[in-house]
Chains A and B, each alone.
Chain A
Amino acid sequence: MMRAPVAKIIPFSNVDGPGNRTSVFFQGCTFNCLFCHNPETIHLCKSCGICVEKCPAGALSFDASGTVVWNSTACVGCDSCIHVCPHDSSPRVRWLTVEDLMKEIRRSAPYIDGITTSGGECTLQNEFLIELFTEVRKLGKTCLIDSNGSFDFEADPRILTVSEGVMLDVKAADGAWSNILISHTQELVLKNLDYLLSVNKLHEVRTVIFPGRDTENAEAVRTVAGHIGSACPYKIIRYRPFGVRERYQKLLGEFETETEYAERFARLARECGAAKAFVV
């Protein structure tokens, strides 16, 4: 049976789309963004064992095949494991079937408007998501995809037929800064932006504003605004150092972006046509 690595389930979230939503975070990402707030979701666990001895609760061990396993009842949630992991991973990942996940979603279903899948990068689990969304929709709930845009939706649009849409991160304009910031180009992200717009499945776009990076911020915002116009909300997000790996905080900033500064770029976005741009 198909299984997917689930890092975390949040039954009630008010920040992952409209209304109250259950958020499912999948492990594993296609990018390596310097400002990632939960870098422990980037890679799958290599079972190197470094975290096993650092766990104060004895919640981590090796199974017969040499895989690191996590005992959720023994775990005290101290986060030591993710802090010592040298591979941007976590041992607290559960490989769940669609039915396993549905058991938890059915519990929160009466209280929510829908679910949002996130990550890591949830589109790595495309086949799993198609099955999951099909089940969730049977409950009359909506399904949103939180994506970094590294999945080619046009080449394989099946997921969009069972989803209300995509909340897309556009982290930079194409160019050198993109390569530094996310170790990737923006080509596919921007292609997705246009495609999702054309099929009316772009729920919102988000861009993080970094302190003091006038040029980079402005280029990103201009690019997005030029594509989306007033077709969907554009969230201008303030950079916050919380959770960001220390070595990258040095590069990006150890303080959060001031609201005033972020507002400048929301104004710029509106001037460039993104009528629904606002700071969150």
Chain B
Amino acid sequence: MSDALNIIQDPTLTYKQELLALARLGESTDDSLRYSDAYYEAKRKGALCDLNEGVMPYRPRYICPDYTLLFEKGCRFLELDPPKDLLEAVNALEIFYCHVPSITSFPVYLGDLDKLLEPFVIREDRAFAKKVLGLFLRNIDRVQTDSFVHADIGPEDSVTGRLLLELTEEMQLAIPNLTLRYDPEKTSDDFALACIRCMLKTAKPSFANHRMFVREWGERYAIASCYNGLSIGGGGYTLPRLRLYECALDAESPEDFLARELPRHIDLQLEYMDKRVRFIVEQSNFFKTNFLVTEGFVKQENFTGMFGVVGLAECCNYLLGIENKKKGFGMNTEATDLGLRIMDVIDVRVKAHEAPYCESYGHRYRLHAQVGIDSDGMDDSPGTRIPIGVEPPMLDQLEVNEKFHPYFPTGTGDIFKFEETWLRTPEAILPIIKASLARGLRYFSGYLENNDVVRVTGYLVKKSEIEKLRAKKQSLNNVTVFGMGAQDGGHALDRRVQQHDESSGR
């Protein structure tokens, strides 16, 4: 049976999912973008992974349009005037979203929704504004059917922000993903507590370290897709990953890995990124003709390449001969220290590399702790995370995270699953988040153990939708299938639960 026939006969795919799968199949028939033999060899071994980005990039992976421009001057291509009231604003956004490409063909960044809509919301009666925003969220959930669709709020409190939280709780939708840009000086405790309550019940918003992102990107940064830091008016060209465990398999010792195998693989991934970025900018149409570029919603110089890594934990455990992961990376200083040395080598080497078309970032790519894909199974944990199921008590886990998160301007994060008493005491979670962000944590996600909407590795799915796929029915959300794979292969929903009394790991 041909691949195309497989796709069109798969009962779990919706029409749109079939279309996207067929497009990918079509793209794969071209081979004009070629890499070195060493690259293909490393890819075959599983040490490098291109995340199935497709062989012929016809758009950057992630695009973060500057929606304030749409509101200031409208869009000629889409024949939209600047909106004059809330209905027009929401309508303009809904139309615009359908024309923002990405690796998934869905918009991965919906804008800073509270800032964009607040001027319109405060002119309306609260109940009317809530009704409009509710329909807006419903439109996003049913039209942009992919959990990598992401909206941001904060750091300041706002009427819009509060309404979005209320609606998120009431509607229990997996889409869009949501982030609070948290700054202890700009975000009131009261707003942060409202976000924590909503996060426990719906797995969103997550807390982003606003100060850290501003230091790296300036004020105008977006959190897109899972937890990816990027520039507003820019984005990410490509995101391949080093699968560090597989990278280490041919190393004779930790020292051999640091001196030889690791740099070799870093260079191969840089080769892939350089060629791909050049192709997107020089060969494909996107930066020449797309209205997002020609009308200034994004600028090519605000894009960068995202250098991804996964499986640091398994890599360190393998190199040190640690078989019991309960005593490995995250719980064991030697393994954690080796992890830091590995990250230093990656950081220094990637920063030393002159990258094409990354003008706004000193011609450099930026590191990303990739969140894992369903086929990783238990071999490579997301980014630098401690393997699921062996996480130590929360304090220990946070301390490890705080050491690794600063390496990754284009995103990393960790997820904490709480038992139900924490819902009564959000004020017990806030000091934890505050302290951890101040000490280097980049991104904090949480949810209650018994929710339907749960955070898998970075994105949200409904457990009830996974059950639909298991029953061979269709799920509107493109990402549900990844959630099912991550649950089966990576036990991604079995992470440790934070009890009401978190015992010491020692």
What is A's interface to B at a CB cutoff of 8 Å? Answer: 8-16, 18-21, 23, 72, 104, 107-108, 110-113
Residue of B nearest to A108 (CB): B395
| Among B393, B435, B500, contact of A110 (Cβ-Cβ < 8 Å) | B435
Highest count of chain B CB atoms <10 Å: which of A9, A13, A18, A72: A13
- Given A20-B432, A110-B439, A10 contacting B503 (CB threshold 8 A): yes
- Given A10-B502, A14-B500, A72-B506, A107 contacting B428 (CB threshold 8 A): no
**Which segment of B47-55, B74-82, B419-427, B457-465 sits at the interface?**
B419-427
Residue of B nearest to A20 (CB): B428
How far is the CB of B135 from the nearest CB of chain A, in Å?
Answer: 37
Contacts of B500 in A (CB 8 A): 13-15
Residue of A nearest to B433 (CB): A111
Highest count of chain B CB atoms <10 Å: which of A14, A18, A72: A14
| Among B428, B429, B504, B506, contact of A10 (Cβ-Cβ < 8 Å) | B504
What is B's interface to A at a CB cutoff of 8 Å? Answer: 393-395, 398, 421-422, 425, 427-429, 431-432, 435-436, 438-439, 498, 500-504, 506
CA distance A104 to B393 in the complex (A): 14
- Given A10-B504, A12-B502, A107 contacting B395 (CB threshold 8 A): yes
How far is the CB of B395 from the nearest CB of chain A, in Å?
Answer: 4
Check A18 against B427 for contact (C-beta < 8 Å): yes
Residue of A nearest to B506 (CB): A72
CA distance A244 to B498 in the complex (A): 23
Check A104 against B504 for contact (C-beta < 8 Å): yes
Given contacts A12-B432, A12-B502, A15-B500, 19 further A-B contacts (CB under 8 A): A10-B503, A11-B394, A11-B503, A11-B504, A12-B394, A13-B500, A13-B502, A14-B428, A19-B431, A20-B431, A21-B428, A23-B501, A72-B506, A110-B435, A110-B438, A110-B439, A111-B395, A111-B398, A111-B431
Highest count of chain B CB atoms <10 Å: which of A12, A107, A108: A12
User: Can you list 15 A-B pairs, Cβ within 8 angstroms, ordered by A?
Assistant: A8-B503, A9-B504, A11-B502, A11-B503, A11-B504, A12-B498, A14-B425, A14-B429, A15-B425, A15-B501, A19-B431, A21-B428, A23-B501, A104-B504, A113-B431
Contacts of B422 in A (CB 8 A): 14
CA distance A113 to B189 in the complex (A): 14
CA distance A242 to B425 in the complex (A): 23
SS class, residues of chain A in contact with chain B:
mixed
CA distance A113 to B427 in the complex (A): 10
CA distance A72 to B429 in the complex (A): 29
How far is the CB of A202 from the nearest CB of chain B, in Å?
Answer: 21
CA distance A66 to B398 in the complex (A): 40
CA distance A108 to B504 in the complex (A): 10
Contacts of A110 in B (CB 8 A): 435, 438-439
Contacts of A23 in B (CB 8 A): 501
Residue of B nearest to A8 (CB): B503
How far is the CB of B175 from the nearest CB of chain A, in Å?
Answer: 30
CA distance A18 to B436 in the complex (A): 19
Contacts of B498 in A (CB 8 A): 12
Highest count of chain A CB atoms <10 Å: which of B398, B422, B436, B503: B503
| Among A8, A9, A16, A111, contact of B432 (Cβ-Cβ < 8 Å) | A111
How far is the CB of A106 from the nearest CB of chain B, in Å?
Answer: 12
- Given A11-B393, A107-B395, A112 contacting B431 (CB threshold 8 A): yes
How far is the CB of B488 from the nearest CB of chain A, in Å?
Answer: 29
How far is the CB of A72 from the nearest CB of chain B, in Å?
Answer: 7
CA distance A104 to B436 in the complex (A): 17
CA distance A20 to B438 in the complex (A): 17
Highest count of chain A CB atoms <10 Å: which of B394, B429, B432: B432
CA distance A19 to B504 in the complex (A): 18
CA distance A11 to B397 in the complex (A): 12
Highest count of chain B CB atoms <10 Å: which of A20, A23, A107: A20
CA distance A111 to B435 in the complex (A): 5
Residue of B nearest to A110 (CB): B435
CA distance A23 to B501 in the complex (A): 8
Contacts of A19 in B (CB 8 A): 425, 427-428, 431
Check A12 against B427 for contact (C-beta < 8 Å): no
Highest count of chain A CB atoms <10 Å: which of B394, B395, B422, B428: B428
Check B425 against A12 for contact (C-beta < 8 Å): no
Check A12 against B421 for contact (C-beta < 8 Å): no
Contacts of B427 in A (CB 8 A): 18-19
Check A15 against B394 for contact (C-beta < 8 Å): no
- Given A19-B427, A19-B431, A10 contacting B436 (CB threshold 8 A): no
CA distance A72 to B505 in the complex (A): 11
Contacts of B429 in A (CB 8 A): 14, 20
How far is the CB of A276 from the nearest CB of chain B, in Å?
Answer: 16
CA distance A104 to B505 in the complex (A): 12
Contacts of A21 in B (CB 8 A): 428
Highest count of chain A CB atoms <10 Å: which of B436, B438, B498, B501: B501
How far is the CB of B364 from the nearest CB of chain A, in Å?
Answer: 32
Residue of B nearest to A14 (CB): B428
CA distance A14 to B418 in the complex (A): 11
CA distance A198 to B473 in the complex (A): 67
Contacts of B439 in A (CB 8 A): 110
CA distance A72 to B422 in the complex (A): 29
Contacts of A20 in B (CB 8 A): 428-429, 431-432
Check B393 against A111 for contact (C-beta < 8 Å): no
CA distance A168 to B427 in the complex (A): 22
Highest count of chain B CB atoms <10 Å: which of A9, A10, A18, A112: A10
